[in-house]
Structure 1
Amino acid sequence: MKCPEGLQWSTKLLRCEWPENSDCFKCPKENDENNPNGLYANPDDCTKFFQCAHGYAYLMNCPEGLQWSTKLLRCEWPENSDCGAKH
């Protein structure tokens, strides 16, 4: 599923929000000192996630057959992943 036009997914609030209230794209902007460290869902691909550290975003892959779970902050089997519910 996709958020309505003009809204972005918030991994913190677990719902679609206006961009200024969403944390969706804070991480993927590289070399931004305002980015918080942590793990973030990739809104375009359930098999990948972002790991942010010191202002840099690193695109990471889940092991084959697994999907990112925002709730558990780790890769999980698809039946245990909440990823598909967000995109």
Structure 2
Amino acid sequence: MKVAAKELGPRGITVNSVLPGAVNTDALAADGPPGVVERTIAQVPLGRIAEPSDIADVVGFLASHEGRWITGQTIHAGGGQF
């Protein structure tokens, strides 16, 4: 990602990655061990797991004009949990 940001930057292309924490999906509850959602929530400083729209908003910002000066970065979107 950092190499791509350096190579594509001269063409005005930004390259970033988003590292989400737990996201409230059917797969999280169905595929995890019993109580995984509750244990995860207890570890997140913001007190909940992400909704898909929480992550989409971060991606949307990075892709927007407002995110134009951010490149070569990994954005942790885990509600404070790393």
TM-score (norm 2): 0.28
Please state which structure has a larger fraction of its residues in helix: 2
Structure with more relative contact order (C-alpha pairs < 8 Å, separation 6 or more): 2
